């Protein structure tokens, strides 16, 4: 393409972008309500219930009782982070440290690494979900002293 043709296409692209931005700003600032807001239909809000008093004082947690929900969630998140970081180290080391991939263009290796990260994100999420569920339910009582 010639230089003038490129400049014309660039001007058209910039003009189209400005047109769309102005249109979005006009729609956002209009006085009419948006289509996704449902009407309230005159319903009264529900009364807020009074907070309940604590039933019994909290007891000290035994070191042999299973961890609480927060601990399981933290363990799942740490496992997911380990999978994600370890997978990234492995992927990028293979793509850029193995001599067999030296002939592949850098942009191709970068694209492969980014696409592999999409699978790593899904795998880390699955590990986080299974890691938080695998340690037993809150009703599971494994305390042998009771």
How many whole angstroms separate alpha carbon 15 and alpha carbon 12? 5
* Largest CA-CA distance found in the chain, in angstroms, rounded: 85
Is 76 exposed, middle or buried, given 0-12, 13-18 or 19+ CB atoms closer than 10 A? buried
pLDDT at 84 over 90: yes
pLDDT at 127 over 80: yes
For residue 146, how many C-alpha atoms fall within 13 Å in the half-sphere facing its CB?
A: 6
pLDDT at 123 over 60: yes
Phi then psi for residue 109, to 5 deg, are -65, -40
- The residue written with tokens 């927060």 in the block is 70
What letter does residue 2 receive in the DSSP assignment? -
- Contact call for residues 127 and 80 (beta carbons, < 8 A): yes
- Distances 1 to 8, 11, 16, 92 between C-alpha atoms, Å: 11, 15, 21, 37
pLDDT classification of 72: cutoffs 50, 70, 90? confident
Mean pLDDT value across the chain? 79
Which of 76, 92, 71 has the alpha carbon at shortest distance from 124? 76
How many whole angstroms separate alpha carbon 141 and alpha carbon 26? 60
pLDDT at 136 over 90: no
């Amino acid at each position: 393409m010639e230089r003038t043709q490129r400049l014309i296409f660039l001007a058209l692209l910039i003009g189209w972008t400005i047109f769309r931005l102005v249109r979005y700003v006009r729609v956002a600032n209009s006085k009419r309500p948006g289509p996704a807001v449902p009407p309230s239909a005159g319903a009264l809000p529900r009364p807020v219930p009074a907070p309940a008093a604590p039933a019994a004082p909290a007891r000290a947690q035994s070191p042999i009782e299973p961890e609480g929900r927060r601990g399981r969630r933290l363990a799942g998140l740490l496992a997911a982070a380990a999978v994600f970081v370890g997978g990234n180290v492995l992927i990028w080391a293979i793509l850029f440290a193995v001599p067999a991939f030296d002939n592949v263009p850098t942009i191709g290796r970068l694209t492969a690494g980014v696409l592999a990260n999409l699978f790593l994100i899904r795998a880390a999420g699955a590990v986080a979900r299974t890691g938080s569920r695998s340690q037993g339910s809150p009703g599971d009582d494994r305390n042998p002293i009771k």
